[in-house]
Structure 1
Amino acid sequence: MIVLASTVVLVVAALVAIVGYYLGAYRPAHQSLLTAGTERFTASDIEARTLYLLLFQQSIAPREATELIPKALDVLEHEAILRQRAPALVGDVSAEDMAKDLAVRLATPVPPTPIPTPSITLGTPTPTGTPDATPTATATATAAPKPTIDEKQVASTQQERLQKSGLSKAAFDALTRAQILEDRLVKRYTDEAPKTALQWEVQVAILPSVERAEQLRAIVQRPGVDFARVASAAATDPSNGQLAWVLADLQEPEVRDALSKLKAGEISATIKSGTRYKVYRLSQIEQNRTVDEEQRDNAATERLTKWYEDERKALTIERDVVASRDAAMRVNISRAYEKVQPVKRAP
C-alpha cells in the first residue's frame, strides 16, 4: 500500500538518524518497561506489538517515527485494561469465541456453490371424469448455501503474522481477546443508546483566542448578520458555521451549561474548550428528537471512552521508557521490518 510505504520511509529515515543511541541505550529485553494492572510488558513485547501495528494495523499506526513506541504503549495499555476490566460487564472470552472471531478477521470466505434453479414438479393429475380434476403443483428449492471458512488459511495467516511481527502465540491471543471484548462493549453501549433525546441544532465558531472569539460574538449579535458567513470567514475549523443537530448529553459540561440557558436564535457567551474558544448560535431545540445511527455510534464511543478513562484510574499504570530506550527499540523494529517487508528504493 502507498500509505504503508510512505509510513515506512518516514520511520526508517528517522531511525537511521538515531542508530548512534543503540549501544549506549541497550536494556535487557526481558526487563519490564510497562506495567498495566496485573500485566507486564518487556522491550521485546513492545517491539513485537509495534511491528504488528506497522504490518497489520496501518490504520492506527503513527506516521512519525517518534510516535511509534508511545503508540504501542497506549495500545498495550488499552488492551490490558480491556482484558482485566471488561469481562465484568460483557463476560469473558472462550476459546470458541476466539476461533469464530479469527475466522472472520483472518479468513477469506470460500465462495458458495451457486444456487440451483428451483425445480417445479407437477403432481399426478386426478383422473379425467372426477369433478375436481385439478393438477397440484409442488415446488422444491435448495436453500442458499453459506460461505465456508478455510480453516487452513486462517491458521496459515495467523502463523504468518506471528512470524513477521515476532508476537508470541500468547500475545496474539491476548490481542484477539481484547478486540472481542471491545467489540462487545461497543455493541452494548450502542444497544443502550437512547432512541430519542434532547437535541440542539447549532452553529459554532471555533477560534484560537478569547479576543477573536469576543470580536466575532459582537459582530454576530448585530441584527441581520449571517452567523455562518462570519464564522466561516474566521474559520480555524472546517465545521465553523455549519448547522448540525447535537445530542445535549454528549456535549462538554461547559457547552451543555451554556446552551441550556439559551432560547432559539440566541448567541452563547464565549466558551473555553481546551486551548480554543467557541461561540454558539442555537437555532432549534427538540426535547425528543430521534437519535440517528451516527449519533448512536457517537454516544457509544463516548461511553466507551468514559469507561476506559474510569477503569484506567482503577489500575496501576507504570511506564519506564526514556528517550534512549525508545530509540533503541525503534532501531530493532526498523531492522525487523526490513527483513520481512523491504522498503522499495528508487533506482
Structure 2
Amino acid sequence: MTHPSATPRTARILPRLVTAAAQVLALLLCLLTLCCGLLPGLLAVCLGYMATQALTHNRRLGRFKPAPFWAATVVIVLPLLALALVLANAQGMLVGAVAQYEALLHHLARTVLEIRQKLPPNLAAHLPDELIAAQAWLASYLQSQARALTGWGSAGLQGGLLAYVGLVIGALMVGTPAVGQPAPLRAAMRTRAAHFIQAFRQIVVAQFWIAAFNAVCTALFLFAALPLFDVFIPYSGMLVALTFFAGLIPIVGNLLCNGVLTLAGVSVAPMVGLACLMFLIAIHKFEYVINAKVVGKRTGTSAWELLTVMFVGEAIFGVAGLVAAPLYYAYVKRELLEEGLV
C-alpha cells in the first residue's frame, strides 16, 4: 500500500532533482565549450541574445520598436552587411592592422634585447647577469607571436564563422516563439540560460566600459600629453587598440597593456618608459574606483577572486580558460546565490 505522504514528498523532491540535473548539464556544457574550442560561439550566443532583446525592449523606439522576429533578423543581417562593407572598402586596412601588430611585436623584441644599452651605464651595471636569459626568452616569445600572426587568416575565418553561428543562435532564442508550457527540465534549463546571460551582462558590459575608459586615457596620453614634450612613441595607434581589446579581460589584460606600453616607452628613452609607468599607476587608481563601483557592485566579486579563477582557468584550458573564467565564476556564483548558499 502506498503511504499517503509519498506523493507530497515526491512533489517536493522532484523540482529539486530537476534543478540539480539542469545545473549539472549547464556546467557540463560550459566545460565542453572550453574543451572543444567553442568559447567564441558561446560568447556570441550571449551577445546575439542581448542585442535582440535590447531592440525588442527599447522604449526609445516607441511605436517603431520591432517585433522579436524582425529584431532577430536585424541582428543576423547587420554583421553580414558590415562584413561586405569591410571587404569592399577596408580590406587593406584590416591586413595593414595585422602587419602593424606584427611590426610592433618585433619592435618590442628588439627593445627587450637592447634594454641594457638604453639604460644609463651606472644603472645597467647593477642589473644581474641572469636577466640576459630572461631577455632572450621574452624576445623569442614576442618574435614567435609575431610569426604566428602570419597565419591569422584561416584561424580568424574559423573563429569568425563560429562567432556568427553563435550570434544567429542567440538572436533566434529571442525571435522564435517559445513553447507555452515547457516541460520541467526545459524550464529549468531556460532558467540556467537566463542566469548565464545575466552573468555575461554583468561581467562583459561592465568590463567594456572599463576598457573604453583605459583606451581613451591612453589615447590622450600618447597623442596629446607626450607630444607637448616632443615625445612620440612608435605604433601609438596600435597601442591604443591593444589597450581596449586586452582591457576586455579583467585585471590580466590591464597588466599586459601596462607591460607593453612601458616597454614601448623604454624603446624611446628610459625616462619616457618611466613616464608611461607613472601614467599607468595614476590611471589604475581611478580604475580601482570604477572596478569597485561597476564590476564589484554588479557581481559581488573582489579582485582576488577574479585573479584566482583566471589563473586556474589559464593553467587548465589556456587562453580560453583565462577569458572564460570571470564569466563562469559569475555564473556559478549566481547559481549559488539563487540557492541561498552564498
The structure carrying a bigger helix percent of its residues is: 2
The structure carrying a bigger strand percent of its residues is: 1
- TM-score by length of structure 1 reads 0.21
- TM-score by length of structure 2 reads 0.21
